[in-house]
Structure 1
Amino acid sequence: MRTQVAIIGAGPAGLLLGHLLRLEGIDCVVLERQTGDYVLSRIRAGVLEQGTVALMERLGLDARMKAEGLPHDGFNLADGERLIRIDIKALTGKQVMVYGQTELTRDLMEASEGRGLEVIYQAADVALHAIESDAPYVTYTKDGAEHRVDARFIVGCDGFHGPSRAAIPASVGQTFERVYPFGWLGILADVPPCNHELIYAHHERGFALASQRSHTRSRYYIDVPLTEKLEDWSDARIWDELAIRLGPDAAAHITRGPSIEKSIAPLRSFVFEPMRHGSLLLCGDSAHIVPPTGAKGLNLAASDVHYAHEALLAFFRRADNDAVAGYSAKALRRVWASERFSWSLTKLMHRFPDDGPFERRMQLAELDYIASSEHAQRVIAENYVGLPV
């Protein structure tokens, strides 16, 4: 098989890029190791910046998102006793959209066949070859046979453990990483949310987050040590802990119910540079991971896709090699800005094992400052809705 762009990974980043390229008449094929059902089974966040919403609008795939998504004008920080509302609409003139990553992926997936985007699922043993040349290719196996895809460019949207980043020589790449000493224990339940907006809570017992997927489905999190076992956390124990950490006002409005899904996700900050080597470009989790505090993961992948799409379009339309050469630097500027915001919000809202009374009082002093300063709230709001692409 021969194509112009081979995309590895059929998560939201890979599908979004594929649709954008097909919209411009650029040939591409998407390779995915798992089945489509497996991809849709991944439970992820769902706070979309306006830039991500705009990409779906550009594709004309925004109808269900607009019908079922929840536009939010603000969110809340809590310190165990009070809510500090960050009015992002008043401070920035923008909103965010609460719409599950699974639903966005479903919209992209279901539109693929009708729009001529070829997605090959269950492509095993994917390997990248000749990425430093102008004629890279990808091999994979399916149904016991080996296949080859020749392309002009390869784009790795295959996540942290995929083969794309590993194809870049160690002598070329540099890794920056911070592994956090806790994970997020999440519970998904078909119950109405305790607040119409998200609540990020800092408590002496630890962090908590109240979020939602719809008016009738809620997603809650608490942070726990990495040594914790999921089987030790019954639904009742999680609900009890949430009621304490979210504070009395939120607790009074929590509706308890049986979990649909529970999991513990470790947290890390991770950046790989460069995001382009030869004819290979990296997008999303293949190049960077942010802690979920601040909801930047999917949105950062979407901004990568925007930059990659612009660079590839310039190359195929105008033979502009400089656009591809500049992709990594352009994408990394926004990556590091988002990493900084996610890291700072994580530091503010979580208790670290080495923290003592001094660190706790510093966090409370910072929350006091945010509560009393419109300037501080504006900085947070600008970062939360998404810095300019």
Structure 2
Amino acid sequence: MRTQVGIIGGGPSGLLLSQLLHLQGVSSVVLERRSRAHVLGRIRAGVLEQGFQNLMRQAGIARRMDREGQIHSGVNIAFYEERLRIDLEGLTGGKTVMVYGQTEVTHDLYEARDALDGAVIDEAENVTPHDLQSDAPYLTFTKDGAEERLDCDFVIGCDGFHGISRRCVPSDVLQTFERVYPFGWLGVLSETPPVNEELIYARHDSGFALCSLRGPQLSRYYVQVKADESPDGWSDERFWERLKSAIPAEVAARLVTGPAVEKSVAPLRSFVAEPLRWGRLFLAGDAAHIVPPTGAKGLNLAASDIQYLSSALIDWYKKGEAGGLDGYSARALARVWKAERFSWWMTSLLHRFPENEGFGDRIQRAEFDYLAGSKAAQTMLAENYVGLPY
């Protein structure tokens, strides 16, 4: 089998790259280890920056997003009983975010690839890159028990934090930077009306909480727990009581509770790998970087990677220009580190750090008070939340 671009990973990053390349006449094959049902069953964040929305439109797959996505012009930060609304639209000259679930994004991407007869091979096991330093790299994998080979010009690793792609870069070349946080998020999806029309990020003695939403009758809520906590130890009643204790009383009074449709714990970490290119291998999305979900940057960072990569590959094939490919790592990392900073800052502001009790608590209080009283500080938050320029 032969293609121009071999893509490892059939999540939003790999599928979006494949779609953008296809529309410009560049062939690709996507290899996904899991079944399509598994990929579409993942519950992930769904706050899309303006840049991500524009990429979906550029890829010709925004019709349902534009019809069903919810535009948010503000976001709320709560500190105990105080609630501060950040006017995203007013502070950024008209920019907003859209709430549209990552599962829906992935569904739209799969549908688009199917409509164009895009080559997406699900349940491709034991994917292994070869000859990445040569001009003729290739991938081997197993499908339905048979060994297969995919020859290509470039290999793009969109296979997540635990994928094979990053591990192909020699240890004396790859640098990694990481902070693992001493807590996680216990998330519950419920078929209940959202407690608020915009997201509320909250800080309380019991820790962080987030009130989010997926639709008019679908809500997503989170509370801070220990990183190794099991969701099995949390009954629905226990979860709702913890959530109510962590959000302002006026919000808790409006909360509609119900059975959990899905319940899981996500650990938090900050992680960056450098460089994002080694020979003919390019890393993108979670294979290259992880951010805490505070601030909703993970999916959006992947989108900016794909914007840079798709443009660079199209320039290579249509114009014979290598500048975009040569500059991809530095260009992407410049934006990655800004998003890492913002996610770290939001996490530091809103979570309870047991080791920082006393002094750290007072610093968080002072940080919130400064944010509440400073238009410049609110503008900083708004500019980062809606997304920095590509």
Q: Paired residue for 1:142?
A: 143
Quote the residue 1:216 is aligned against: 217
Query: In structure 2, what is the equivalent of residue 24 of structure 1?
Result: 24
Q: Which amino acid aligns with 2:295?
A: G
8 Å CA contact retained: 2:192, 2:217: yes
Instruction: State the match for 1:48 in structure 2.
Output: 48
8 Å CA contact retained: 1:22, 1:116: no
Kept after mapping to 1: 8 A contact 2:308/2:324 = no
Unaligned ranges ≥5, structure 2: none
The equivalent residue for 2:11 is: 11
- What displacement does 1:62 show? 0.8
Matching of residues 338-353 of structure 1 within 5 Å? 338-353=339-354
Structure 1 runs (4+) greater than 6 angstroms displaced: none
Q: Deviations over 1:88-142 (max 9, x none)?
A: 0010110100000000000000111211311000000000000011110000001
Aligned partner of 1:230 in structure 2 is 231
Supply the AA of the counterpart residue of 1:47. Answer: V
Structure 2: which amino acid aligns with 1:3? T
**Separation in structure 2 between the aligned mates of residue 227 and residue 337 of structure 1, nearest angstrom:** 28
- Worse overlay, 21-30 or 348-357: 348-357
Find the counterpart in structure 2 of residue 303 from structure 1. 304
Residues 58-109 of structure 1: CA distance to partner in whole angstroms, max 9, x if unpaired?
1221111111111000000000101100000010110100000000000000
- The 8 Å contact of residues 29 and 117 in structure 1, kept in 2 or not, is answered as yes
Which residue in the other structure is 1:121 paired with?
Answer: 122
**1:82 paired residue number:** 82
Partner of 2:96: 95
1:255 and 1:114 map into 2 onto residues whose CA distance is 40
Counterpart of 1:187? 188
1-side partners of 2:33 and 2:97: how far apart? 32
Partner secondary structure for residue 294 of structure 1: coil
Residues 260-284 of structure 1 show CA distances to partners (whole Å, capped at 9, x for unaligned) of 0000010000000000111011110
C-alpha root-mean-square deviation of aligned residues, in Å?
0.7
C-alpha displacement of 1:229: 2.5
In the alignment of these two chains, the number of paired residues is 389
After TM superposition, the score normalised by the length of structure 1 is: 0.99
Amino acid at match of 1:286: A
Find the counterpart in structure 2 of residue 292 from structure 1: 293
Identity of aligned residues (%): 57
Please tell me whether the aligned partners of residues 41 and 102 of structure 1 are also in contact (alpha carbons under 8 angstroms).
Answer: yes
The one-letter code sitting in structure 1 at the alignment partner of 2:365 is L
Name the counterpart of 1:35: 35
**Alignment partner, residue 67 of structure 2:** 67
Distance of 2:315 and 2:230 partners within structure 1? 50
Q: With the length of structure 2 as denominator, give the TM-score of the two structures.
A: 0.99
Q: Deviations over 1:244-296 (max 9, x none)?
A: 10110110111000000000010000000000111011110000000000000
Partner of 1:130: 131
Cα deviation, residue 228, structure 1: 2.4
Secondary structure of the corresponding residue to residue 326 of structure 1: helix
**Structure 1 unmatched runs, 5+:** none
Q: Contact (CA 8 Å) 1:3, 1:28: kept in 2 or not? A: yes
SS at match of 2:294: coil
Separation of aligned partners in 1, 2:236 and 2:192: 13
Alpha-carbon deviation of 1:176?
Answer: 0.2
